[in-house]
Amino acid sequence: MKKNILLIYTGGTIGMIKSHKSDRLLPINFDNLISAIPELSNPEINIENQSITNPIDSSSMSPQVWIEIAKLIKLSYNKYEGFVILHGTDTMAYTASAISFLIQGLNKPIIFTGSQIPIGVRRTDAKENLITSIEIACNSKICDVCIYFEDQLYRGNRTVKVNTEHFEAFKSPNFPTLAKVGVNIKYSPIKKKVDKKSFSVHESLSNDIAIIKLFPGIKISTIEAIIDSAKGIIIESYGAGNAPNSNKIESILRKACKNDKIIINVSQCLQGSAITNKYESSKVFNNSGVVCGKDMTTEAAVTKLMFLMSKDYNDKKIKKQMQKNLRGEISN
Ligand code: ASP
């Protein structure tokens, strides 16, 4: 039986080719992308392609486009065994996280991939990334939103972009890779928690969100202004979830939490977790009603909050859900 795979093109370096006239990189026609890789013709796989309305450099990504991608998957869900999404690397970890929350009850693979060198350039990494992503998308045991990049398959909502220079652009600091690719594709035996809910796609996201990254010397007025600017705030704290031992900051946070702000504490560190009550210096959070985001990446915390705040939930439920493992994004 032939596997049907849908390739969704959203833009990014992977779809670029050098213009003969100007030597500049220009987006290529998506149909040419297929013909540029004859290795893709496989009698066992039927690849169809679709593109979002306006393919973009992923640094222009937005929640509207995430919803467009989720709707495309919804419309074609029954027709295909797997999905490969071509995306720029800059915000791929955000998009993969957002799609993981928007889609509930997923029981097919959705594989994001891209490249560091455009498809139309001789040393490109695009071909291997794309060919292997398609092969992985044929594996019906994968029921996750993933990123495949440079020989590694990651859970999408656990990844971060860590490198602009090397082919190995992503890491999953707090969760093991789902597969390693060499001569063979070796899938790890991690058992995904089967999502028993039936397939559905949520079609809205709130962007009433802001991020505060703490640094020594941050002005109190900056913290206040950012908190004032949004309902949901992610604080990137130090180490295991620490902040300056400041009565002023504690009282600002307490007041904000009382005034219906939802504040989440995640760590600036790549690896490890924000923990409540480990150090005296996490007391500004513990005493004020800030929610501990444990080992979630900032990308997962932002998109999860966008998702939960767009639902018909009260604040108490949003805070509870932020600490719960919804799609494999947080360790128990
Ligand atoms: N700026 C590009 C993008 O994210 C980089 C890439 O494709 O890797 O769309």
Cα–Cα distance measured from residue 252 to residue 250, given in angstroms and rounded to the nearest whole number:
5
Contacts of residue 297, Cβ cutoff 8 Å, sequence gap at least 6: 93, 97, 157, 158, 159, 160, 173, 174, 266, 329
Q: Residue 11 CA to chain centroid, in angstroms?
A: 16
Other Cβ atoms less than 10 A from the Cβ of 320: the count is 13
Instruction: Report the alpha-carbon distance of residue 64 to residue 62 in Å, rounded.
Output: 5
Which residue has a Cα nearest atom 8 of ligand 1? 89
Which residue among 9, 33, 52, 58 has the greatest number of ligand 1 atoms within 8 angstroms of its CB, and so is best to mutate?
Answer: 58
Contact indicator for 156, 97 with CB cutoff of 8 Å: yes
In order, the DSSP letters of 273-285 are ---TTSSGGGHHH
* Residue 116: C-alpha distances to residues 38, 132, 188, 222, 266 (Å): 20, 16, 26, 35, 28
pTM recorded for the entire structure: 0.95
Residue 9 neighbours by CB under 8 Å, 6+ apart: 15, 30, 33, 49, 50, 51, 52, 55, 86
The pLDDT value recorded for residue 33 is 62
What is the Cα gyration radius of the chain? 21
- Cβ(71)–Cβ(84) below 8 Å: no
Please indicate whether residue 12, judged by its CB atom, sits closer than 6 Å to ligand 1. yes
CA-nearest residue for atom 6, ligand 1, is 88
- Catalytically active residues are 13
Q: Where do the domains of the chain lie, and which CATH numbers do they carry?
A: 3-201 (3.40.50.1170), 209-322 (3.40.50.40)
pLDDT in tens, the chain (332 residues): 899 999 999 998 888 777 777 777 776 666 766 676 788 888 999 999 999 999 899 999 999 999 999 999 999 999 999 999 999 999 999 999 999 999 999 999 999 999 989 887 889 898 999 999 999 999 999 999 999 999 999 999 999 999 998 988 999 999 999 999 999 999 998 655 566 679 999 999 999 999 999 999 999 999 999 999 999 999 999 999 999 999 999 999 999 999 999 999 999 999 999 997 777 777 889 888 999 999 999 999 999 999 999 999 999 999 999 999 999 999 98
H or E element that contains 161: strand 160-161
Q: Is the CB of 15 within 6 Å of ligand 1?
A: no
Question: Ligand 1 pocket, 59 CB below 6 A?
Answer: yes
Structure tokens at 304: 């999860």
Q: Give the CA distances from residue 119 to residues 36, 168, 254, 262, 296, in Å, rounded to whole numbers and listed in that order.
A: 8, 17, 51, 43, 32
